[in-house]
Amino acid sequence: MADIIKYYKEIKVPAIVAITDVSAYVYAREDADALAKEHNGVIADMPRLIAELGNAKARTAIRKRYADVNSAEYQGQTEEGRVYAVGHSLGPLTTTERIKQGIKNIHMYGFLSLNATEWKTFMNNPEMVPLDDIKKGFSSSQPYAIFANLDKDNVVINDSGLLDYDHFMKDDRLLMVAGSLESRENIANILFKEEKRRVVGSYHRIKEGTFNNSGRPVFLDSSYGGFDSKDGSGYYERGRFVVVAPEAHVRTGYSNHKEFLEAKVKESMDARKPIQVNGGVYAFIPDVCLSKR
């Protein structure tokens, strides 16, 4: 356990505070909310997650399995036709309460309905960026969203499935989910070069969706490496969020109590619940760190 705590302390600014791993998506999200509030941090959206993957130690932990993010894809209609958009820490589905409300009535393919006011507010947000601006190099460290008019703009979106490197780098849907040209290039380098994948996934329902005003969270897959979206059952499966903060906050008050800490680890693994020590401080431990060293 001392090694586990040391692992977190070694990660420099910006530091990972926790990787949640809870048996239900919304519960993991609630825990991530609590951690973010306690440590003055945020739940990573896709651009932030990709940035964190630039740290080798963080990447080892995150890429052990998939990672959920505070990003969602949206499909709907405007006066100009069908719109596809991706919000990064921006949009109706950025709060746990709204997601919990939405999954009471999940639509086909896991989409959660948006009312007319939600959709209009989202589309009129001043931080809504056209896809063309992203192609010109726009990026932001603040919450923002990207949209494309599918019936008007020249948008390249491959069929849902596995893509090789060339198709990956030309796919506008992947660009929107990654968040910027730089983010797409960085994740492509990780997936294709470092992980040596021949193809990676891009799973969506753009070409078969009804384009009723709706949305669903996206995540970074591990089995096929690429960008996927929550389907109906995905909301009831394990959630795994990354919380980041300006500096490490994991306390080490019990770090020398080997037997105590080993018992805590065993209890956590058996129950698939977070470890709780030091008067309520949670330390979610990624699987990569649980073996003895």
pLDDT at 40: 84
Which range, 8-12, 101-105, 232-236, is most confident? 101-105
Q: At residue 85, does pLDDT exceed 60?
A: yes
Structure tokens at 135: 């192609």
Domains in the chain: boundaries: 2-289
Q: Are 237 and 18 in contact (CB under 8 A)?
A: no
How far lies 22's CA from each of 93, 179, 240, 254, 292, in Å? 20, 27, 7, 24, 22
pLDDT at 16: 65
Q: At residue 89, does pLDDT exceed 50?
A: yes
pLDDT at 285: 43
- Cα 13 to chain centroid, rounded: 20
pLDDT at 77: 95
Which DSSP letter does residue 287 get?
G
Q: Are 250 and 17 in contact (CB under 8 A)?
A: yes
- The residues, ordered by sequence, that sit 6+ positions from 32 with a Cβ below 8 Å of its Cβ are 18, 20, 43, 241, 243
CA distance 78 to 149: 9
Q: Which of 48, 29, 130, 132 is nearest to 89 (CA)?
A: 48
pLDDT at 24: 83
Q: At residue 131, does pLDDT exceed 50?
A: yes
pLDDT at 56: 85
H helices of 107-218, where?
116-123, 131-135, 165-170, 172-178, 181-188
Band of pLDDT at residue 200, cut at 50, 70 and 90:
very high
pLDDT tens digits, one per residue of 202-242: 988 888 767 999 999 999 998 776 788 877 667 777 789 99
Which range, 16-20, 60-64, 81-85, 268-272, is most confident? 81-85
pLDDT tens digits, one per residue of 28-54: 899 889 888 888 889 999 999 999 999
Longest dimension (CA), the chain: 64
Band of pLDDT at residue 133, cut at 50, 70 and 90:
very high
